[in-house]
């Protein structure tokens, strides 16, 4: 059984695949915050900007099997099928639910399957793309992947240590919120001083899309 907050079709707004059309499948629940505003400041991750609780969003629901989930995702891709089908499994923390069987079912529908995870859980081995966004204070058990995306600044994260891990691409992304302008300046300065990192911006927010 899979609990999904929402599904929608949009452009990937950040990281390596910025600008790529994708179906977003946002799984319910997270292991670093319960999603309740009253508990935010006691959570491990205090800066999440996403509603991931419940199944009430567009395309959300409870799906009994991997095939049911894959069918629901496939319904959001433009018909007739054109281009490379791409799904981003996100959350919350998608690896609390995403299974090898679900990935296989999505791939059976022709999808390139990506996950965005906080790195505290080991992913299914058959994913096509793994993006890790570590959080200060969380035990990161996943130490390699396709993409490392650090929300910046975060006190307590050792970026020198993270840069040595086996990731094909490394990104610094300014933390959103009241200090976004300052965080963007700090992120730019960091990337200039540390050219093994690249800058990622949340372009979907600038464009006014999801």
Encode pLDDT of 36-52 as tens digits.
999 999 999 999 999 99
SS3 assignment, position 57: coil
Mean pLDDT computed over every residue of the chain = 97
Q: Does residue 197 have a pLDDT over 90?
A: yes
Residue 116 falls in the annotated catalytic set: yes
Percent of the chain with pLDDT over 90: 97
Residue 45 falls in the annotated catalytic set: yes
In 10 A of CB 199, how many CB atoms? 15
Over range 85-92, report the average pLDDT. 98
- Indicate which residue of 18, 50, 184, 203 is catalytic: 50
What's the confidence (pLDDT) of residue 198? 98
Give the whole-angstrom CA distance, residue 32 versus residue 184: 24
Give the whole-angstrom CA distance, residue 54 versus residue 190: 37
Domain residue ranges in the chain: 2-207
Percent of the chain with pLDDT over 70: 100
Residue 127 near residue 153, CB atoms below 8 Å: no
Residue 101 near residue 37, CB atoms below 8 Å: no
- Indicate which residue of 45, 89, 131, 191 is catalytic: 45
For the domain bounded by 2-207, which CATH number is listed? 3.20.20.70
Q: How far apart are the first and last CA of the chain?
A: 26
Query: Residue 79: pLDDT band by 50, 70, 90 thresholds?
Result: confident
Residue 17 falls in the annotated catalytic set: no
């Amino acid at each position: 059984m899979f609990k999904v907050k929402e599904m929608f079709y949009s452009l990937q707004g950040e990281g390596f695949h910025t600008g790529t059309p994708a179906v977003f499948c946002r799984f319910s629940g997270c292991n670093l915050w319960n999603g309740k505003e009253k508990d935010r400041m006691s959570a491990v991750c205090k800066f999440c900007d996403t509603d991931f609780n419940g199944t009430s969003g567009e395309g959300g629901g409870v799906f009994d099997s991997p095939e049911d989930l894959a069918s629901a995702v496939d319904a959001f891709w433009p018909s007739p099928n054109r281009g490379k089908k791409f799904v981003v499994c996100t959350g919350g923390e998608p690896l609390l639910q995403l299974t090898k069987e679900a990935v296989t079912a999505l791939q059976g529908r022709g999808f390139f399957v990506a996950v965005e995870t906080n790195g505290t859980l080991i992913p299914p081995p058959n994913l096509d793309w793994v993006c890790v966004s570590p959080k200060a204070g969380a035990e990161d058990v996943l130490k390699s992947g396709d993409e490392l995306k650090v929300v910046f600044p975060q006190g307590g994260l050792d970026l020198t240590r993270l840069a040595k891990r086996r990731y094909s691409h490394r990104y610094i992304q300014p933390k959103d919120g009241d200090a976004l302008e300052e965080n963007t300046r700090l992120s730019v300065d960091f990337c200039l001083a540390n050219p093994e990192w690249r800058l990622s911006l949340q372009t979907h927010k600038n464009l006014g899309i999801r």
